[in-house]
Structure 1
Amino acid sequence: MVEIRDPVMSTADPSIPRPPAVASSLQALLATVVATVVSVFRGVAFWATIPLPLVIAGTLATDIVATDPLLVGALVALNVVCVALGHNYSPNA
């Protein structure tokens, strides 16, 4: 009896080209840029939460709230947004 063996087949599909190394390095560069921009925005939001309550208190003390209540409301909303965005900021990272 003659035994017929199947030839070893490759699992690589030659019809799908490999992405060039340039594409992967561009993706890495883009990921680094995005991470840097996010870190900068978090840092600005974190540090903005420190003076904003003082500015809001100043508007309340000088009666700006009576003449322009939308400004005070916008400052309070900005402070809440800065707290939310800057919450995970780490200055050492």
Structure 2
Amino acid sequence: MAEVRDPVMSTADPSIPRLPAGASNLQALLATVVETLLSVFRGLAFWATIPLPLVIAGTLATNVVATRPLLVGSLVVLNVVCAALGHSHSPSV
């Protein structure tokens, strides 16, 4: 008799190739490295958001904006980008 498989209940699909165990470990290591780098990047962006307004205020107080408006505008854009990227960072206590 022919074997009848229920397609709804079956979880094993022989047509999907399995990765060797070494490749799976490599993928896990790569995922961990990428996650760590993203966490560090978010943390740097989060903490850079704190002093940047003080730097911008210093450039405004010392009239740097009159001589280098592009620099001050770039600092403002950098502050906004850092705030957006560092928003999801949660500093550990």
TM, length-normalised to structure 1? 0.83
Asked if 1:31 is matched to 2:66, the reply is: no
**What residue is the counterpart of 1:50 in the other structure?**
50
- The offset of 1:9, in angstroms, is 7.0
Residues 1-93 of structure 1 mapped to structure 2, 5 A cutoff? 6-8=1-3, 13=14, 17-92=17-92
**What residue is the counterpart of 2:9 in the other structure?**
none
- The offset of 1:12, in angstroms, is 5.5
Provide structure 1 residue ranges, at least 5 long, that are not aligned to the other structure: 1-5
Distance 1:50 1:62 in 2: 20
Kindly name which structure, 1 or 2, has the bigger radius of gyration based on alpha carbons. Answer: 1
Gap change, CA 1:79 and 1:16, over 3 Å in 2: closer
Amino-acid identity (%): 71
What is the number of residues matched between the two proteins? Answer: 87
Gap change, CA 1:7 and 1:35, over 3 Å in 2: same
TM, length-normalised to structure 2? 0.83
> Over the residues paired in the alignment, what is the CA RMSD in angstroms?
2.0
Distance 2:13 2:70 in 1: 64
**Deviating runs (4+, > 2 A) in structure 1?**
7-13, 15-18
